[in-house]
Amino acid sequence: MSTNAEQPTALVTGASRGIGLAILRALAKDGFLVHGTATTNNGSLRITKELSELDNKGSGHVYDASNASGHTDLTNTVTEVDALVCNAGITKDMLCIRMGDDAFEQVIDVNLIAPFRLAKYYLRGMLKKRRGSIVMISSVIAATGNPGQANYAASKAGLEGMVRSLAREVGSRNITVNAVAPGFVDTDMTSRSLVGDTREKLLEQIPLGRVGTTQDIAATVSFLLSAQARYITGATIPVNGGLNMA
């Protein structure tokens, strides 16, 4: 599958649920032919069904970001895109003194190395066309840190640094590279942590007084991929209700 000359193509990783699914829906509404990924065949089929209900000709693909062969499987199928959204991400929370190398490495593999591989691959087509956009989904935790999330914070801070470097490398070819850093959003990722007292205490720290919705994040990604945002690159846009204003 390559880029259609008339309709721009977007690829969203981790589009089977949560923030990625909201981004997939927003980009379909924006007129992109959207490809989305899931780790399972069922998830991939659900994405294809979702897209067909939105009258979109894109489809779901199985993608495991934790290793190089997952990357090759995906790029063999979706060969070129105009917009890349690296959203797939995982947590493996544990206090540093108890965290094994495996938990640190798994989070870095999925959250940082996989987006590097995808950017490297899809930039080639964008460089030839002298146009394209990349959005990496980071986190407020990159800036604030969080107990139990040394691995996650490192992966997201790394992602933001990579965004700034890539933006400098490809800006002259009219390619934008940005990050969106959500605060706390109600999804499966946060369903166990954002409850009870913890949730109440968190809400007290958010000036807008609520956790984010997946649509809040999707709206910012949609803007960054729009014609209105062609002069924005190397930025990390916070979408956190004011939780962190630095």
Residues with active-site annotation: 152
The amino acid occupying position 147 is P
Kind of pairing between the strands at 132-137 and 33-38: unpaired
With binding defined as CB under 6 A, does residue 199 bind ligand NAP?
A: no
Q: Residues 120-159: x/- map of binding to ligand NAP (CB under 6 A)?
A: -----------------x-x--------------------
For residues 81 and 58, is the Cβ–Cβ distance under 8 A? no
In sequence order, which ranges of the chain are alpha helices (DSSP H)?
18-29, 41-53, 68-77, 101-108, 114-129, 141-144, 150-170, 196-204, 214-224
Q: Is residue 115 within the footprint of ligand NAP (CB under 6 A)?
A: no
Which 88-107 positions form the footprint of ligand NAP (CB under 6 A)?
Answer: 88-90
Q: Tell me the backbone φ, ψ of residue 165, rounded to 5 degrees.
A: -65, -45
Smallest separation, CB 228 to ligand NAP (Å): 23
What is the distance between the alpha carbons of residues 123 and 151, in angstroms, rounded to a whole number? 27
Which residue, 233 or 240, is less far from ligand NAP as judged by CB? Answer: 240
Q: Please, what is the minimum distance in Å from the beta carbon of residue 216 to ligand NAP?
A: 11
Query: Could you say whether residue 34 binds ligand NAP (CB under 6 A)?
Result: no
Interacting residues with ligand NAP (CB under 6 A): 13-20, 38-40, 43, 63-66, 87-90, 110, 137, 139, 182, 184-185, 187-190
